[in-house]
Every structure is written in C-alpha cells, then in structure tokens.
Chain A
Amino acid sequence: MSSAQRKVAIVPCSGIGKPYGTISRIAAYQVTEEDRPEQTRLVPLALLVMGDEEYGRIVAESPAITIDGCPQACATKMVQQCGGTIVRECSVLGTARNHRDLKPQGIAELNEDGEKLVVALAEVVVEVIDACAQPSKGVNHA
C-alpha cells in the first residue's frame, strides 16, 4: 500500500445553502493544509458522487473521516457507498451543539463565530487523526 493510500481521507460535505456547509469545507482545508497535511488527503465529494475511480479507490483503501453539514449526511453516505471505512462521522451540527454561544453566519464568507466553529471542528478531526496514528506508531517503534 502506498503512503498516499495510508493517509486518512477527509471528506467534507459540499453544502452550499447554509453556513454549515462552508464550515465543513473550511475545516477540511484547515486539517489537510495546515494542521495535519502529511497524514491526510482531501477527497472531493462531487467526484465520489460521480464514481471517480481514483478517489473511489482512495476512499475504499483508506480510513476516512467524514464532515457533514446537515442531517442528510451526504459525505457519510457516499463513503459508505464506496465501501470505505469511516473512523469518525463528524458533523458541524454536533460541534455547534457543544458551542451554543457561537452564531455562525455567511456562506461565501463566514463571520467570526463561523471561523471559531471551524477551529473547534478542526480540533475534533485532528484528535481523531492523532488517535488513528497511535497504534501504528507503537508498532513501528516496537
């Protein structure tokens, strides 16, 4: 298995109707570009929807973290349909419930509370990634 395949697939929703979709998307960028670029790979949902072979294989062969923006859970459903292994189904609404003081607004551009929710959500995802890495680190150093 190549190193690219061992990376954790991060699959955000493509929601465009509410701020939660944008929060999902930006949190995925935060994790894959800033927080854990070496351990993760961003997977575009539209390509999974269309049955893209390359990304379908990546999802099927990698642990995946889905980030859904609404109860329809498109990202989770698509990864399941591709036969992927979801290590955590994250949801913007779930994180928002833990931060009821934040009132995210804006879709093209998030307000300050939306950006704070991005940070909180990215932290949840990073915790899962780090937990996934623990057993293999142990094996490598044994």
Chain B
Amino acid sequence: MPELPRKKVGIIACSGEELPEGTITRLAVLRVLHQLRPDDTVTICLPLFLAGGEGDRNFARTHPTIAVDGCEKRCAFRGTEKYSNRPAAAIVVTDLIARHGLVQPHGCRKLDAAGMLAVEIASQQLIEMVDELLGKDGV
C-alpha cells in the first residue's frame, strides 16, 4: 500500500529585521522546525509569496499555517492571507511579551536574556498550536 504524504503545518515568521521581536519570531520558528517538531513542520520565506512562483503562493493552500509576527503590523499574517491563504493560527510577539509580563527584549543581531525567554515561550506556544492543528493535542 502506498504511503500517504505526511500532513505538515507551515510556519511563517515575519523575521522583521528592525526589531528584536522580529529576531524572536525567527528563532522561535527555527527552534520548532529544527528541534521541537522537525517532522511536523515546514516553512517558507515571507517575501517568496511575491518573488517566488505559483508553487510558493500555493504554500498556505496545501498546508495549515501559523503566522508568527513581531509586532502589530502583522506582516506575516497579512502577507500569507493576501498572497496565499488565511493562517489557521497566529502569534504576535509584542502581545506575548505583554501577556506574560516579560521584560522588553533588546538586540536584533544577538538577543539578550529577555529575548531568549520570549523565544522559549513563543516556541512552546507554537508546538501547542502545531499539535492541535495536527490533531495530536492531548495525546
């Protein structure tokens, strides 16, 4: 019997270069992709929705997606929705920092301890979302 393709969740980081929160999105997504849920997740660079081909724009039509944004401008969410499909879930790092009462992070190039704590919390939140989207929550 042929093996069916494994269902995966697409995660899209804003990667905003001008804010520490952008670096937090990037590192949180990489942690999930490479360490926490490597078999369940894939990603795409946000600009590829515009610069890439139809295959890239089909990304969110073929995967449930999670948008991870650094700020309220929500480029990852809006970009994914505009050029591909509406994300199934979303994280905004500035909201996460406020909700958890975290210290304001610093360092776009190299995050400080507060930034790394936000990475940890965001990545944990992401794997909960991934598991829920794949129907693995509560297993």
Contacts and interface: CB of A to CB of B under 8 A. Distances in A.
| Interaction A to B | yes
Interface of A: 12-17, 21, 25-26, 28-30, 33, 42-47, 49-50, 52, 72-75, 77-78, 81, 107-108
29 contacts: A13-B45, A14-B45, A16-B43, A17-B44, A25-B15, A26-B109, A29-B17, A29-B108, A29-B109, A42-B18, A43-B17, A44-B22, A45-B15, A45-B47, A46-B14, A46-B15, A46-B76, A46-B79, A49-B50, A50-B78, A72-B51, A72-B52, A74-B45, A77-B51, A78-B47, A108-B27, A108-B30, A108-B31, A108-B34
Nearest to B109: A29
A78 B18 CA distance: 17
B75 A46 contact: yes
| Among B30, B49, B75, residue most surrounded by chain A Cβ atoms (within 10 Å) | B75
Contacts of B102: none
Interface string B112-125: 00000000000000
Contact of B17 (A17, A45, A74, A108): A45
Contacts, number: 91
Interface residues of B, number: 31
A16 B26 contact: yes
A78 B15 contact: no
B46 interface: yes
Given A17-B45, A50-B82, A77-B50, 20 more contacts: A12-B17, A14-B17, A14-B46, A17-B44, A28-B17, A29-B108, A42-B18, A44-B17, A44-B18, A45-B46, A46-B22, A47-B73, A49-B50, A50-B78, A52-B73, A74-B51, A77-B47, A81-B50, A108-B27, A108-B34
